[in-house]
Amino acid sequence: MHGFLTYMAVIVGGALGGTARFTLTLFVPDHEWLGIVLANVSGCFFMGWAIQALNTKSRVPTFVKKGTTVGFIGGYTTMSTFIADFFSFMTKNWLLALVYVFSSVCGGILLAWLGMVVGKKVAFC
């Protein structure tokens, strides 16, 4: 039963995360890639927070940890769209492609670290 609950949490979390990512792209209809950047870097923050706030607490059930990290955050962020956008930009505007990669990667690293800092101070359990 425990394994089933974890699988279901990952499935539901993934569906919610993917829906949240898609929703971000709707706010910038002519520049969907901005929504992807925002999803990827904020997802890094959420993952950093989750590592500290959820995974270091033994009282948080495994299905909550996996549903949040693997499910929601995994569905919310997207490496495949990031790579596809990068190659699309490379054929049109190499400078935009570099800005896209730099802001996504460096912004993601910075926000993951910030999420870990916040997660140490603001843990729910």
Pick out the residues of the known binding site.
74, 77
Pick out the residues of the known binding site for Na(+).
74, 77
- Return the structure tokens found at 63: 């299905």
43 burial type by CB count under 10 A (0-12 exposed, 13-18 middle, 19+ buried): buried
If you count DSSP H runs as helices and E runs as strands, how many of each does the chain have, helices first? Answer: 6, 0
